[in-house]
Chain A
């Protein structure tokens, strides 16, 4: 069974540009979560999508956005990139909507975004 896949592995952009990150969840999982892993800050919750809709977002500005497609894959878009957006962006999926039973998240390997 394929795990959570993310692309690209690395992405280099300059300030002001836009970045698009992609995530394919495990087959059968309808919930997709995006996290930012900045150096020394741990994982910060960004966005949660389920059944094609944004269900919740973390404390990030509106230039962080995304969407979920009918096949449950997801995109994370970051507009007007700033230097501090440089981080590892992790996608996770779960079969359990909202993880109400606190079942585990399955994480992808991440996209390393570097903003120069």
Chain B
């Protein structure tokens, strides 16, 4: 069975500070991992995905995530937070068949001026 745990339902950072959103997964087979972002009053958008190629994945808006098999983690980072990054972020895992994508509970990112 697969599962996803996002550590911290709320994360607050200052503008310009490092953003780190944590995600740990469990999967009995090599996983596909995703980060989605949900801006207020909008649907989810794909930020980036890991599909067993490079372990460091670069996404849109300056975000990147590193797949660490030994730690079963796929943390999302951005070197410098912008006010526009304030949103809810979802980590997700799947193996085959995207309809079985398992989503984490989400982490709301607050960015302070």
Q: Is the CB of A107 within 8 A of B98?
A: no
- Give Cα A45–Cα B93 distance, bound, in whole angstroms: 13
CB distance from B41 to the nearest CB of A (A): 6
Q: Is the CB of A41 within 8 A of B105?
A: yes
Chain A contact-residue range equals 20 to 34
Chain B contact-residue range equals 20 to 34
A66-115 contacts to B, CB under 8 A, are 90, 92, 94, 96, 98-100, 102-110
Q: Is the CB of B44 within 8 A of A90?
A: yes
Q: Is the CB of B43 within 8 A of A40?
A: no
Interfacial chain B residues near A45, Cβ < 8 Å: 99-101
Look across to chain A and name the residue whose beta carbon is closest to the beta carbon of B31: A102
- The listed residue with most A CB atoms (<10 A of its CB), out of B44, B99, B105, is B99
Q: How many A-B residue pairs have CB under 8 A?
A: 69
Partner of B98, one of A4, A42, A99, A108: A99
Q: Is the CB of B98 within 8 A of A102?
A: yes
Confirm or deny: A8 has a beta carbon within 8 angstroms of a beta carbon on chain B. Answer: no
Whether A99 touches B99, Cβ cut-off 8 Å, given contacts A108-B43, A109-B42, is: yes
Whether A100 touches B46, Cβ cut-off 8 Å, given contacts A43-B103, A105-B101, is: no
Sort A-B residue pairs by CB-CB distance and give the 9 closest, nearest first.
A99-B98, A107-B43, A43-B103, A107-B44, A42-B105, A48-B99, A104-B46, A42-B103, A109-B43
